[in-house]
Amino acid sequence: MSTSAVFISRLRGVPVLDASGDQVGRVRDVVIQLRVGGRAPRCRGLVVELFARRKIFLPMARVHAIDASQVSIQGVLDTRPFQRREVESLVIDDLFDREVTRPGQPPAVVHDVSMHQVRSREWELAEVALRERLPGGRFRLGRGGNVVQVSWRDLPELLLKGSQSTEHLVAQMADMKPADVARELHDMDPGRRAEVAQALDDEQLANAIEELPEEEQVELIQSLDTERAVDVLEEMDPDDAADLIKELPEPMAEDLLQRMEPEEARDVRALLNYEEFTAGAMMTPEPVILAVDATVADGLARVRNEDLSPALASMVFICRAPLDTPSGRYLGAVHVQRLLREPPMVMAAGLVDSGLEPIRPEASLAEVSRYFATYNLVVAPVVDADQRLIGAVTVDDVLDHLLPEDWRGDQFTGLEATEGTREDEPHATQPGVSRG
């Protein structure tokens, strides 16, 4: 994907192509969210007009490539009509032709705005092109020498000012880690929490919900309208989504599962079939699986995916086709450290750790814990009686079930209690957790 700046005026009307190369619509605008601290606004997604003239929202996570002639996307489109959220702005509709002032400079209007990619799937605004006013109060038409480019920071009136508005709080959370967002939500009263959650994007809210105490997870998902709750559940890890759905009233749980994308719902339903506190209930059905003829280079390319947790990225699993869970016959696991020590074109299947036995889905929490302690691992394969890989358990899944039920709430309390503790003073042990 190109990392050079793209001027948004040139994106308007550009065809949007799906993974097969078919046109699905055209770009009409870019959705942005302001951020605090003078940071450039983050691009949340594109407004795309379908052939039926319906405008939909396309998250930047679905954008594969952008150039002057087309936008390539991947994944499934959500064809529900686009509805702007309170904390969102549209670049073309809201910013273009907006009058701005700069100290010591002539008045100007926003002529264009550029955006650039800062990392995979993440874009932010870069520079603003201004058309300056001529003597007599007129603005020159066309592309004369009075069009200047300035940094976003040079236009303070377009920056988010400090306040306790929902927009400001969401902007503060934009660059927080999920656990920090969860702590902020935990400290809010239920009404304020629901209001802020409504303004967060689906992925950020899903990640934060996974870090909240169980009771607050249920309360928060119930505060959302049904379609939004479905979107958030689809963004959650399948095992976390399954744990949450178990706690919901049965009619609501079934309604949400019925509305989820079939593939997402299938993974969650599969996990719900396993008895609680077993490997099957704790596992994720999305480990890194390689074909028998995959090379070391193939394996390393797969684990570079930034969406993988460090635990899942620490091991690849060799299986016969199909390569989705439940896979074909499971052949073994290869440690990523071993891949790093071998030439790129070596077959990964030849590097299998022959001393590593997989876990059965019915294995108890105690058995899984002993397995991790015995092999010093952070991820373990789960294989059924037919020798198919059906998932992988990560060490954080195990810890979630070993710690006391209310440990998530306790960690927020513990953080508050230790604020101001001197660096040379010992920190108290969190409630319910022994030093071992």
Domain membership flag for residue 311? yes
Task: Give the mean pLDDT of the chain.
Answer: 85
| Residue 340 confidence class, pLDDT cut points 50, 70, 90 | very high
**Mean pLDDT (whole number) for 319-333:** 96
CATH number assigned to the domain comprising residue 338: 3.10.580.10
Among 111, 132, 158, residue at a domain's last position: 158
| Per-residue pLDDT, 154 | 82
Q: Per-residue pLDDT for 210 more than 60?
A: yes
Q: What is the model's pTM? A: 0.71
31 occurs within a structural domain: yes
Number of domains in the chain: 3
pLDDT over threshold 50, residue 429: no
Model confidence pLDDT, tens digit, residues 281-315: 999 999 999 999 999 999 999 999 888 889 999 99
Domain that holds residue 193: 176-273
pLDDT in tens, 10-60: 999 999 999 889 999 999 999 998 877 677 888 999 999 998 789 999 999
322 and 386 both lie in a single domain: yes
Q: Say if residue 72 is in the same domain as residue 149.
A: yes
- 219: domain CATH number? 1.25.60.10
Amino acid 3: pLDDT: 52
Residue 213's pLDDT is: 86
Q: Residue 167 domain-assigned?
A: no
Q: What's the pLDDT score for residue 134?
A: 66
Residue 412 confidence (pLDDT) above 80: no
The span from the CA of 343 to the CA of 340, in Å, is: 8
Do residues 299 and 347 share a domain? yes
For the ranges 72-76, 331-335, 424-428, the maximum mean pLDDT occurs at 331-335
Looking at the structure, tell me whether residues 295 and 240 fall in a common domain. Answer: no
| pLDDT computed for residue 344 by the predictor | 96
| Mutual angle of helices 214-223 and 178-186, in 10-degree steps | 80
Indicate whether 200 and 153 sit together in one domain: no
Residue 424 domain flag:
no
pLDDT score, position 102: 80
* Percent of the chain surpassing pLDDT 70: 87
Within 13 Å, how many C-alpha atoms sit on residue 337's CB side?
Answer: 4
User: What pLDDT was estimated at residue 424?
Assistant: 37
How much is the average pLDDT of 59-74?
89
CB atoms within 10 A of CB 298: 17
Residue 258 phi/psi, 5-degree rounding, is -65, -30
Indicate whether 343 pLDDT > 90. Answer: yes
Of the three residues 94, 125, 158, the one that is the final residue of a domain is 158
Three-state DSSP class for 43?
A: strand
| pLDDT confidence of residue 145 | 44
The residue assigned the tokens 């390569």 is 323
Shared domain for 138 and 190, answered yes or no, is no
pLDDT at 430 over 50: no
Whether residues 306 and 383 fall in one domain: yes
**168 within some domain:** no
Alpha-carbon distances, residue 214 vs 311, 407, 414 (angstroms):
23, 10, 17
> Strand, coil or helix: what is 348?
helix
Does 198 share its domain with 110?
A: no
pLDDT category of residue 191 using cuts at 50, 70 and 90: confident
What is the model's pLDDT at position 382?
97
Which residues neighbour 150 within 8 Å (Cβ) at sequence distance 6 or greater? 102, 127, 128, 130
Burial class (CB in 10 A: 0-12, 13-18, 19+), 184: middle
How far is the CA of 195 from the CAs of 103, 165, 185, 238, in angstroms? 37, 11, 10, 25
317 and 384: one domain?
yes
Structural element, H or E, at residue 239: helix 238-246
Give the residue among 126, 17, 124 at the shortest CA–CA distance from 69.
17
On whether both 119 and 204 belong to a single domain, the answer is no
Q: What is the pLDDT of residues 101-124, one digit of tens each?
A: 887 788 888 999 999 998 877 899
**Domain assignment present for 193:** yes
- In this structure, the answer to whether residues 44 and 133 fall within a common structural domain is yes
352 and 313 in a common domain: yes
In a domain, 22, yes or no: yes
What pLDDT is stored for residue 205 in this prediction? 93
Domain boundary among 105, 124, 158: 158
Nearest CA among 29, 32, 33 for reference residue 56: 29
What CA–CA distance (Å, rounded) separates 80 from 61? 17
Q: How many CA atoms lie within 13 A of 216 on its CB side?
A: 27
For residue 73, the 8-state DSSP code is E
Assign 393 a pLDDT band (cuts: 50, 70, 90): very high
Q: What tens digit of pLDDT does each residue of 256-280 get?
A: 999 998 989 999 999 999 998 999 9
Q: What was the pLDDT predicted at 151? A: 87
Beta partners for residue 347, in sequence order: 295
Share of the chain above pLDDT 90, in %: 53
Residue 165 lies in a domain: no
Beta-sheet strands, E only, within 215-363: 289-290, 315-319, 330-335
In the three-class reduction of DSSP (H, G, I as helix; E, B as strand; rest coil), residue 259 is classed as helix
| pLDDT tens digits, 130-182 | 988 765 555 555 444 488 898 888 887 776 655 557 877 888 887 788 989 99
